[in-house]
Structure 1
Amino acid sequence: MSKTASKAKSIEELEGVISKAIKKIGGSKENDLCKYLPMEHGYMHHFTLKKMKHKEPTELCSLIEKFIMRADKLKVVPPKQRAARGSRKRRDQMTFSRIQLERMLNMARLTGDKEMIALLSPKESLASIKRKLIQSIRQNSIDHELWNSYVEIITAQETMIEMVKRGESPSA
């Protein structure tokens, strides 16, 4: 018997074992078997099951036989411990509520600390600052902080343009 013929026979045999195992666990698809097949730190991943089905069908068949077909009592393998996804909180950075930031900004204004005022003030777009400047000119009023913000943004843009012209990275 050739190697491909024996592999085809083992895949056919595996298909039969898989369908019997699915019936035994009361599942509806192959992936349902994964939770009953132990691996190093948890149950078998469904990608591993598919890979073994095509590359190592006899080994997969023996695993299914051992842990599902010959098992007196079916045992669901606990999943592998994984790091939490979206709930990871950064402990090295403090977060402030909007109200707390506004209070700190008011304290900085009272003390006249321009650096803290600039740091805590909400950043506005160039278009927004231009609109406010034009509006203040029409109302014949002068807002030095607004003008300073405009100059700061323009200077930063010019610096970035110069850096790009020299071939430097503007993100550094």
Structure 2
Amino acid sequence: MKKLFLLFFILVLVGCSSKASPTPQGNRDSIPGQPAFPSLVQYWVVDNGCNFSQEAKENAFEVFDALNRDHIAQVAVVCQTGIKGGPADASTWISHWFNYVGLGSLEDKRAVAVLIRPDVKPEDYRITINPNDALYWFTSYDELPIKQEAADFANYGDFDGCLESLVRNLDGFLRAKWATYGPTSNP
């Protein structure tokens, strides 16, 4: 009886697997219909549409690199045009990018990815902040003032101001919370 059940189970699995499409439906390099994921090359900042100044990128690098060296979190900002859809699609895109580049060190696993969409209307939410699960204490409530200030700059086309605001506020917030939720505390 057990052999018959096992044979039936195997046949069901084989039958179900034959219905899968032989053509790949996407990979970790992209989401169908959305821009390909850029690599994280330098400065913890990817600029595909904001035209950040060199000074703003270097400042972001210094601050984000210090957060990484201090084992608080890895933080990266992506400015990307062409992401279709609303805030939920932007959140999905940045979440997948986060995994694509492997943000979060192997030992600490704490990371934050920020998406700036310069080509959408202000009411379509230009700023998306995505902390990973290891930063359980970084809530949507905490994100709101950081996003609002950065969006104020972005909505007036001041993307350097937007980046500087994100850098300053994320650094201040993460360091303050780390003092409370650091490696000696338990969730």
The alignment's TM-score, normalised by the length of structure 1, stands at 0.24
More helix by share: 1
State the structure with bigger RCO (CA 8 A, min sep 6), 1 or 2: 2
More strand by share: 2
- Report the TM-score, using the length of structure 2 for normalisation: 0.22
